[in-house]
Amino acid sequence: MTLNEDVFEDVVLSSPVPVLIHFWAPWCGLCRRIMPLLNRFNGEWADQVQLFDVNADENFRLATQYQLQTLPTLLFIDSGQVIQRFEGFRGQDEFRRALDLLMSRYQLEQSYRD
């Protein structure tokens, strides 16, 4: 699902579950290459994490607010706070490992809280 600045706060910062935001742009080749991995991630973790896309070119205020310096940039946000930031991927394998590690850590933290 694609978000814009108008709904970002209501949807993301007020979400009862963690959110993974994918900042991308149409001209970004790696952004397009990781889309299938994000779709697969969404299928595996849809019950625990919401995934949203934000076009950085069309949402300059958000790009500035989150100090984007490269695309793609992904933010893992829980309870309105950025927990993890991903940027500068060198390929799909590295990206997939980073997502798997993120979710493993998150599940472990949740088990300690419960």
pLDDT tens sequence across 43-87: 988 888 999 999 999 999 999 999 999 999 999 999 899 988 988
Task: Tell me the percentage of the chain whose pLDDT exceeds 90.
Answer: 47
Rounded mean pLDDT, 89-105: 78
Q: Is residue 37 pLDDT above 80, yes or no?
A: yes
How many Å apart are CA 72 and CA 88, to the nearest integer?
7
Positions annotated as catalytic residues are: 28, 31
How many Å apart are CA 107 and CA 7, to the nearest integer?
28
Amino acid at 35: M
Torsion of CA 22, 15, 50, 75, to 10 degrees: 30
Higher-pLDDT residue of 37, 91? 37
pLDDT value at residue 87: 87
Peptide bond preceding 72 in cis form (omega within 30 of 0): yes
pTM: 0.86
Tokens, residue 103: 């979710």
pLDDT value at residue 94: 78
How many Å apart are CA 91 and CA 33, to the nearest integer?
9
Beta carbons of 75 and 23 less than 8 angstroms apart: yes
Q: Is residue 114 pLDDT above 70, yes or no?
A: no
How many Å apart are CA 80 and CA 69, to the nearest integer?
21
